[in-house]
Chain A
Amino acid sequence: GQSLEQPSEVTAVEGAIVQINCTYQTSGFYGLSWYQQHDGGAPTFLSYNALDGLEETGRFSSFLSRSDSYGYLLLQELQMKDSASYFCASGQKVTFGTGTKLQVIP
């Protein structure tokens, strides 16, 4: 089976940098993905890491360490619109993490 654990809530200031962690236990590894979901909306795909290291996409970066079964999503230059829930996901039949609700404050 698979399980992916995330902090339940994170609060950060507009303009700052925030890191959302994800630790996973999976039978087999199929990469680690990240999704953003605003309240009442559908999840949208942000990034995918198949190999160790950092992947950068604009203000968002995602990191993976397979030896530590750990990854994180890094959001830079935070904006109010970044307030949302963020999910890591992995698995052949993709399992989603417990989700982290990010609140960006002025």
Chain B
Amino acid sequence: EADIYQTPRYLVIGTGKKITLECSQTMGHDKMYWYQQDPGMELHLIHYSYGVNSTEKGDLSSESTVSRIRTEHFPLTLESARPSHTSQYLCASSESGTSSYGYTFGSGTRLTVV
């Protein structure tokens, strides 16, 4: 079944640790995105990619980095986690061209940095 997967679902980690949030999709979508969302708040775009070896920063400044070596995989890395990074991180993908089908979101990673 075509879908988008995020791991881990929940992560509690100490300050200063390096972490990578995984995102994979099986739909063959060229476009992939990372959003950050605090509870009850709006989604903020932090990174996006329109294809392999293409990555751009979004509207919300973030200390994270991303890579897109394979179409299906779009991991997000924090080199040194801080309490201010505590949030939910949502990965999404979409087809190129028309927006008629919208984004498909993963289940998200709830990150807590202590």
Contact = CB atoms under 8 A, between A and B. Distances in A.
A96 B42 contact: yes
Contacts of B41: 99
Interface residues of A, number: 23
Interface in A34-81: 35, 41-46, 48, 50
B105 interface: yes
Given A93-B45, A96-B43, A48 B105 contact: no
A93 B54 CA distance: 14
Interface residues of B, number: 24
B100 A50 contact: yes
B26 to A, nearest CB: 16
Contacts of B103: 35, 43, 45, 94
Given A93-B48, A93-B59, A45 B104 contact: yes
A95 interface: yes
22 contacts: A30-B99, A31-B99, A41-B107, A42-B106, A43-B43, A43-B90, A43-B92, A43-B103, A45-B102, A46-B102, A48-B99, A48-B100, A48-B101, A50-B100, A94-B33, A95-B59, A96-B35, A96-B42, A97-B42, A99-B40, A99-B42, A101-B40
